[in-house]
Amino acid sequence: MNIGEMIAHHVLDHDWGISLGGFRLPITNHSVTMVVVSILLVAGMYFVARTGANGKRSLLTTLAEEYVTFIRDGIVLPNIGETGRKMLPYFCTLFLFILSMNLVGMIPEAKTATSNVSVTAALALYTGFLIFHNGIKAHGLIGFLKGFVPEGTPVWLAPFIFVLEAISTIIKVGVLAVRLFANMFAGHLVLFCLLLIVFIIGKLYLVGGIGAVLPVMGMEVFVSCLELLVAFLQAYVFTLLTSIFVGSVVQGH
């Protein structure tokens, strides 16, 4: 196995799916991780919610309350306003889902589903749906479409600007998907490539390879800490941007 294959094996998704009567059911590392983490999250949150409903106080209940308050007062209400209260469960789920997916990749043998562009694109599509749904709900279809042309635009230029603004909304959603994917993918690639330095130097000169172990381990620890920060940061950025986009459509557009 050459180095390129090793990197691809480590970073890319692997499909060991089954075929059922001509229908392909893809079971991949990322989809399994996603399903397992989702089940754990639903079960965990159900447990926390039930504990809270019984009137018992525990550390988990307090943590969950703090988390919801943070999403509500820090992200949803400042950017969307009172309309955002109805969407609070979605934002809480979105943040927790992305954060869990990002963090689970730090566990050895587990895979980061958010380093798969299909997963981030699906999440971004939900954001796109929220933007269009809330825009049409707040202003009506005509009002929403009118919002694509800024006030004071000359009439002859309006169709051109309309097309550009409509595409730029799609680009905004696309950037959201690429940002999360690129950050998570690049982080794991860097971690793995750092490890490979030891083997590459070792192949050229064995003592040099052994000598490179300690410095590379130091860098690995540093990049892993950075990855932890990025996991939280990207989950926050994705949720914040979703709320800002929805807010801009609901309030002003």
Partner 1 sequence: MGFRHISKEDHIAISSLGMSFAVSVVGCVLLGYWLDTLCGTVPLLTFLGTIAGFALGMYLLVRVAKNLDRQKKEGKR
Nearest residue (CB) to partner 1, 48 versus 235: 235
- The answer for residues whose C-beta is within 8 angstroms of residue 74's C-beta and 6 or more apart is none
Write out the binding residues for partner 1, residues 159-188 only, by CB under 8 A: 164, 167-168, 171-172, 174-175, 178-179
Instruction: Look at residue 28 and give its three-state secondary structure.
Output: strand
CB of 108 to partner 1, least distance (A): 31
Nearest residue (CB) to partner 1, 165 versus 220: 165
Nearest residue (CB) to partner 1, 36 versus 167: 167
Write the CA distances from 143 to 87, 149, 157, 159, integer angstroms.
22, 10, 19, 15
38 with 31: CB under 8 angstroms? no
By CB under 8 A, the count of residues binding partner 1 is: 14
Write out the binding residues for partner 1, residues 51-70 only, by CB under 8 A: none
CB of 141 to partner 1, least distance (A): 24
Q: Is 241 in the site for partner 1 (CB under 8 A)?
A: yes
Q: Which residues pair with 19 in a beta bridge?
A: 24
Return phi, psi of residue 81, to 5°: 90, -165
Write out the binding residues for partner 1, residues 111-150 only, by CB under 8 A: none
Instruction: Look at residue 150 and give its three-state secondary structure.
Output: coil
The burial of 47, by beta-carbon neighbours within 10 Å (0-12 exposed, 13-18 middle, 19 or more buried), is given as exposed
Write the CA distances from 213 to 107, 122, 190, 196, 218, integer angstroms.
21, 39, 16, 10, 9
CB of 81 to partner 1, least distance (A): 14
Interface region with partner 1, contact rule CB under 8 A, candidates 1-9, 43-51, 85-93, 240-248: 240-248
Nearest residue (CB) to partner 1, 37 versus 247: 247
CB of 22 to partner 1, least distance (A): 26
DSSP codes of every residue in 49-81:
HHHHHTT---HHHHHHHHHHHHIIIIIIHHHH-
Q: Is 93 in the site for partner 1 (CB under 8 A)?
A: no
Nearest residue (CB) to partner 1, 158 versus 244: 244
Q: Kindly list the residues in this chain that would bind partner 1 in the complex (CB under 8 A).
A: 164, 167-168, 171-172, 174-175, 178-179, 237, 240-241, 244, 248
